[in-house]
Copies of this chain bind each other. A is one copy, B any other.
């Protein structure tokens, strides 16, 4: 059973990488494997399960990478974000799946655990670690999705092309930052700068906790 299932997931992943997720129909996957469509079902129970299997494959690859990540917590936390982003760039179709189909595999749990460990090492009190992990991962997933889906594309929110639709003076903020909107955005640098800002946020929270009560105080949850 496992041989055919792997073959099916391989085919689906290849199709998604070549032509995007919309190209991954059961018929297309079956064609690629060399069987008829209904033959997929004993191995992957449904289309939804196929998609979950595809995500599981990616997370498995990432978990292997993650296990080799060394350094202090800032280095590791930064590397985890970069690894997620590299994966999203190699497989743009995966981002929406990661956001819309929460993965509850052992590999996903390992990833969360790695972030927990880094935050604890940073001095974040244990009671704040789950929230901060969620904040950090939420930002990363949001960034990857925005990048993949074009929300950050140049000119997406540039209003100069729609001056006929909004009255003069309707966008004071844009007017004030106008000359910075012209610059090509470097999303690599931006992602790193954002990660650095979030790490500083983590440091500040750890420092506050150190100043008030120590790293694992028994105060009430926030």
Could you tell me which A residues sit within 8 Å of B by CB distance? 96, 99-102, 104, 106, 108-110, 112-117, 119-120, 126-127, 129-131, 134-135, 138-139, 141-143, 145-146, 149-153, 156-157, 159, 162, 165-166, 170-174, 176-177, 179-181, 183, 185, 189-190, 193-194, 197-198, 200-201, 204-205, 221-222
Q: Is the CB of B205 within 8 A of A197?
A: yes
A sample of 10 more A-B contacts (CB under 8 A), given A120-B173, A142-B142, A145-B145, is A99-B146, A109-B157, A112-B174, A113-B170, A120-B177, A126-B179, A129-B177, A130-B180, A135-B139, A197-B205
10 A-B residue contacts at CB 8 Å? A101-B149, A109-B171, A112-B173, A113-B173, A119-B173, A120-B176, A138-B139, A138-B146, A141-B142, A180-B221
Chain B residues whose CB sits within 8 angstroms of the CB of A156 once the complex forms: 102, 104
Docked pose: A143 CA to B134 CA in angstroms? 9
The count of identical subunits is 2
- A130–chain B nearest beta-carbon distance, Å: 6
Chain B residues whose CB sits within 8 angstroms of the CB of A134 once the complex forms: 146, 152, 190
- A14–chain B nearest beta-carbon distance, Å: 23
Partner among B96, B126, B150, B179 whose Cβ is within 8 Å of the Cβ of A102 = B150
Partner among B106, B126, B151 whose Cβ is within 8 Å of the Cβ of A166 = B106
Partner among B109, B179, B193, B222 whose Cβ is within 8 Å of the Cβ of A189 = B222
Chain B residues whose CB sits within 8 angstroms of the CB of A100 once the complex forms: 96, 145, 149
Q: Is the CB of A108 within 8 A of B157?
A: yes
Q: Is the CB of A149 within 8 A of B116?
A: no
Q: Is the CB of B99 within 8 A of A173?
A: no
Docked pose: A166 CA to B106 CA in angstroms? 7
